[in-house]
Amino acid sequence: MAVAAAASAQTRKPTGLAFLLSCLATYAPEVPAAARTVPPEVAALAAAASATKSRAAARDLVAGLGADTQSKTARSSGTRNTNAGRSG
């Protein structure tokens, strides 16, 4: 997860980030509930407004870990999630 967090924090996302996040998302349900944490960098990527493969993979990882970072991000910034129910 540390590598995913570091890669997600880069301004220019590294090649293969979407694949890395997808691999992690595949095994996320196997992580014990007590150890399921989402690095802030991955949460920020998942909540970003872009429509990239990396963002989609980050959202899958967050969902697989059972975290709801998008609504937490919206609440903490004082804004509403206007994209609720939309795909992409």
Separation between Cα atoms, residue 32 and residue 63, nearest integer Å? 15
Task: For residue range 34-76, list pLDDT tens digits in order.
Answer: 888 999 999 999 999 888 999 999 999 999 998 754 434 333 4
Instruction: Write down the domain spans for the chain.
Output: 2-77
- pLDDT at 68 (0 to 100): 53
**pTM (whole model) above 0.75:** no
Angle subtended at Cα 39 by Cα 11 and Cα 19, rounded to the nearest 5 degrees: 65
- pLDDT at 31 (0 to 100): 87
**CB proximity list for 57: less than 8 A, separation 6 or greater:** 17, 18, 19, 20, 21, 22, 25
- Strands (DSSP E) along 1-88, which ranges? none
Sign (positive or negative) of CA dihedral 36, 41, 61, 18:
negative
